[in-house]
Amino acid sequence: MKMNSWIPQTLILTTSLTGMTLLPLKVQAANIAPVCDTSTTYGFMTVYQNSSNGICPPSPDWSKQMALEWRGGAVGQADYEFGYGENGANDPLAGSIYRDWTNNDKNQFYNWSVDYTKATKTFVLTLEYSPSEIYTRSYTSTLASDQVSALSMLAKVNDKAANYTSYISVDQVISLDGQVAQNGSSPLAIAQFTGNNSSSSDPTFTELALLGQSGTEIKRVQGKFMMNWLGSISPSDAALRSNITMDFKLFDGQKVPESNMAYALLALLGGVSLSKFLGRGQKR
């Protein structure tokens, strides 16, 4: 399994030393894979999972760009069922959707999608409950990075929501250059969890992460979402709020390795030829 893939980036360094002319220096940025024991590649995307506990969090080196969160909420304006923005459901309520879960929604798979425009750093998200019930929202990132190359999915059901199920899938990912990652007619990746009355020490969620190959950025992601439950009390009727959620995040999955930063500084301060370092042993 290839853990790190390398793509060229330009780093400009400055110094207070006199008599020295600084030029842009080429260093390498890496796509950083999460540390998980299972991986499967579809097109330009690789899905990572842990077989032992079903929990594979995104790499801590990834920079979060956008978050979506479906919630159990509560009836009417008492609480919202969907949040989005830099921090998902924790963003201002003005960015939320109040759309109660009813028994008509039980075990129904609805379409969702996110489209990203890099030039404006704008995300457009769409939730489609039916051809006549479609919610569209947009969000413009204020973060420094404009790259989107990785994502994570999480389905959570706390013990309080026993016998409720949360589900989110990614069915297709499209890159900026038109590549398509999919798994035939099956989902590319699924996060699904059903609550139970087990001990509080047991996990209450499942999580997986997806990373694009080096130099490839994400333009569009689409999939499905669903909640299911026993009986006739929906998540909104039960006021489950965030006790049942589906969570989706987009990231910049690249990082400039510290070793290359050190080589760049040596080149500036010690007269070391940077090309001697960056020309050896790098993956391309």
User: Is the confidence at residue 111, as pLDDT, over 50?
Assistant: yes
pLDDT in tens, 168-216: 999 999 999 999 999 999 999 999 999 987 666 677 999 999 999 988 9
- Predicted local distance difference test score (pLDDT) of residue 31: 80
Alpha-carbon distance 36 to 208, whole Å? 9
| CA distances in angstroms from 2 to 123, 182, 200, listed in the order given | 30, 20, 36
Q: Distances from the Cα of 139 to the Cαs of 39, 66, 273, in angstroms?
A: 31, 8, 44
Note whether 139 and 176 are within 8 A (CB).
no
Nearest CA to 9 out of 30, 24, 28, 25 is that of 28
Residue whose C-alpha is closest to residue 195's, from 168, 223, 165? 165
Closest by CA position to 76, among listed 93, 96, 99 = 99
pLDDT greater than 70 at residue 267:
no
**Most trustworthy range by pLDDT among 8-22, 138-152, 167-181:** 167-181
| Tokens linked to 80 | 């919202």
Task: Report domain extents, the chain.
Answer: 1-32+253-284, 34-252
pLDDT of 130 strictly over 70: yes
For 71-96, the pLDDT digits (tens) are: 999 999 999 999 998 877 777 776 78
Lowest mean pLDDT: which of 14-28, 110-124, 145-159, 197-211?
A: 14-28
Nearest to 181 by CA among 216, 145, 224: 216
Q: What is the pLDDT of residue 283?
A: 40
The pTM score is: 0.81
Structure confidence by residue, pLDDT tens digits, 40-56: 999 999 999 999 999 99
Q: Which of 167, 207, 201, 191 is nearest to 36 (CA)?
A: 207
92: tokens are 């201002």
Round to the nearest angstrom and report the end-to-end CA distance of the chain. 15
For position 58, what pLDDT does the model report? 95
Give CA–CA dist 209/56, Å, rounded.
6
